[in-house]
Structure 1
């Protein structure tokens, strides 16, 4: 029993090290190609449907890079870009982008109240949980759990991803099942409102 417990503790420790072992400076050297779509430092994507990568959380970013490289999360624009990247290079990229400051967008004032209600309290009538439960009331995410920081993210991108979860098109990753269940209960109007609110959350 002691060996089993020791093994579990060691495994958890190694996982923690793996997700905190990125070198931001080394990551910056490999991030130039990313700037073409995501902007310098992942802060200002060229289009709203592309995500901001800055400050999302190192564990989340690393897990997404691994999923994209493996083909589990299909993003046509990124086809082949990560094929020759080592695990360490992916860790470095994740550390670099997580080290950058998120530039907050502007929420639509007409949607703030509805968006805030959904984000902070969910919709009890339809079984939608509060986004804040996993992503933090301030939108700063949950690094140990691998839940990304959402505050400041492009509304168009959040909308696209929530619909992808709802349609089953985005189904890869440890937390995908949770998001697919949540998104399946959201209407288009709710997705628009909460996405707009998230874009201005800081």
Structure 2
């Protein structure tokens, strides 16, 4: 009988000890993930990277490749899924990717690969902009590709170049300046500004001159050591451009229109 009482007492003590341990265990800190912008590297300045305003911060980051691009595990983007995910982007970039405010870039026709890579860079902090970092934080690699696929299906609306800048802008875009070591823009971005999705050279055609100018100046001021492999060539080029060069080529790019196929029109019936 005494033995039974002793066993019961031991069991009771074990149960109470377990319950006590659970109730006194330290809670996991609620601030495990830093808020958007908290991990920004020293020297980051949003004014040097004009981009779209932001979205709530996620508490769990999605893994990215060392280059900061969307992870290899992501499937090719789904434009239909991307349309819903890109709805929030429309406030600044336009629902079809044709922003009306020149401080926000046009995304219509931009390649899926480039958009996904830039979103990944914003998320990782490689490309500094606290507002866009907030937008990118909740996105998975797949989300980034889906959003990119959606905007890639859209057509950019034509812009207009300032005639005063056309001659100089066209020369820089199509020929560069060999004496100053400036390559032709079209060598990477194409004669019609369509870009090259493989090495992540963005589409430039019809992009707002104001946005292009801001980005070129930001690249000119960037430390090449902090630039990623895809941005570094542009950092080197931008450092050779003066303000007049940048204004001219930015204006020319806005007026650069890709040749769109003209649909055949059936002749009118006699």
- TM-score normalised per structure 2: 0.65
Unmatched tracts of structure 2, length 5 or more: 1-69, 258-270
Could you say which residue in structure 1 is the equivalent of 2:167? 113
Assess, with a 3 A threshold, how the Cα gap between structure 1 residues 122 and 132 changes in structure 2: closer, same or farther: same
Q: What is the Cα-based RMSD across aligned positions, in Å?
A: 1.9
Report how many residues are paired. 186
Deviations 1:161-180 (A, max 9, x none): 00000000795433211001
Could you say which residue in structure 1 is the equivalent of 2:143? 89
SS in 1 for 2:158: coil
Instruction: After TM superposition, list the pairs within 5 Å mapping 1:7-156 onto structure 2.
Output: 21-45=76-100, 47-156=101-210
Could you say which residue in structure 1 is the equivalent of 2:20? none
Instruction: After TM superposition, list the pairs within 5 Å mapping 1:180-191 onto structure 2.
Output: 180-191=235-246
| Structure-2 separation of matches of 1:18 and 1:128 | 37
Deviations 1:99-149 (A, max 9, x none): 110112110011111100000000112111000000001111112221111
Assess, with a 3 A threshold, how the Cα gap between structure 1 residues 27 and 190 changes in structure 2: closer, same or farther: same
SS in 2 for 1:42: coil
Q: Which has the larger radius of gyration?
A: 2
Assess, with a 3 A threshold, how the Cα gap between structure 1 residues 201 and 20 changes in structure 2: closer, same or farther: farther
| Structure-1 separation of matches of 2:191 and 2:244 | 21
Unmatched tracts of structure 1, length 5 or more: 1-14
Is contact 1:166–1:180 with CA below 8 Å preserved after alignment? yes
Higher helix proportion? 1
